[in-house]
Amino acid sequence: MSLSTVSTDLVRLGTRRSALAMAQANSVAESLRAIGVQVEIVGVTTDGDRSARASSPLSEAGGVGVFVTELRTRLLARDVDVVVHSLKDLPTGASDGLTVGAIPVRENPSDALVARDGLTLAQLPQGSTVGTGSPRRAAQLRSVRPDLDVRPLRGNVDTRIGKVAAGDLDAIVVAAAGLARLDRLGEATEIFTPDVMLPAPGQGALAIECRVEDVVIDGRLHAFISQLDDFPTRAAVVAERTVLAGLEAGCTAPVGALASLSGPQGSQDLHLVAVVVSVDGMTAIRGSATGAAADAEVVGRRLVADLLEAGAADVVGARP
């Protein structure tokens, strides 16, 4: 991707205040500065951050959008000019007055295990305690290793890893992207392959959101933001999130999806795989679909139809 240098006034970039969110915002800021944009990072505390400090489950803290609502409010109020989200945290529905101006190159979308004594998932002894705040991860863990004691876990990456170091848990599962952005990927004892655990739709990707009026009325802001957009990443996450939307499942639902692109630029193919797992891990419905990357949403809808025909709606709607 070739970036052209632009000249603009100061851009206020909104982000959550966590160490990981700040690292993500700084990576976007560096890319914008590389094309001549002046950037000021503005930290915002969200409801999700407040509930994380209280260690309450995400599903009880507001669920879908808990990390993005305050950022969007500040953006619409013009307190900031753009905001950076972890794309997997974004609700799949459109937000009035806002649009995703760019989706930069994706970090590793996989999930990672951080375990005591360098153990892998297969090496963890029977009954080992594994912490995760994600129903999707918990369901897939129970599907692969029903003998494990999977426990709810909230907090930032330091807090979660600290539970293993202190001996409170035998292992945790977190996003590999988060570890990489914090320069802690070396602490992972296993990076899960898709056949073991499919990531959340959009995991590892960032979304740079801006106001629609800045695109329609005055396109200068969008003109330089769009230079950070990566087509392969956008096509992949569109396909994945189409599955999530089609199943009417939120970002905390036990749905995993991953798309990959292949072939020459301009005529790439997209391969999409997805899984819906019951909370207890006893039922897993998996499917795949392939098509043109330019038709990512169509590929996603085709896979949704297959999953629904196989009974995915009952699995997504099930409660523990």
Tell me if residue 218 is catalytic.
no
DSSP string, 117-166: GG--TTTSPTT-EEEES-HHHHHHHHHH-TTSEEEE--S-HHHHHHHHHT
In whole angstroms, give the CA distance from residue 243 to residue 22.
Answer: 29
Q: Name 197's Cβ contacts closer than 8 Å, sequence gap at least 6.
A: 110, 111, 137, 140, 141, 144, 173, 256
Q: Is 206 helix (H, G, I), strand (E, B) or coil?
A: strand
In whole angstroms, give the CA distance from residue 292 to residue 199.
Answer: 22
Residue 94 CB neighbours (<10 A): 10
- Among 46, 18, 279, smallest CA distance to 156 is for 18
Q: Name 219's Cβ contacts closer than 8 Å, sequence gap at least 6.
A: none
In whole angstroms, give the CA distance from residue 122 to residue 232.
Answer: 33
Phi and psi torsions of 177, nearest 5°: -60, -40
Structure tokens at 17: 């205040």
- Among 269, 268, 271, smallest CA distance to 289 is for 271
For the chain, the straight-line distance linking the first and the last C-alpha, in angstroms and rounded, comes to: 46
In whole angstroms, give the CA distance from residue 159 to residue 165.
Answer: 10
Give 262's strand partners. 269
Question: In this structure, are strands 206-211 and 82-86 parallel, antiparallel, or unpaired?
Answer: antiparallel
Structure tokens at 21: 């969110």
In the set 89, 111, 170, 214, the catalytic residue is: 89
Residues recognised as catalytic: 89
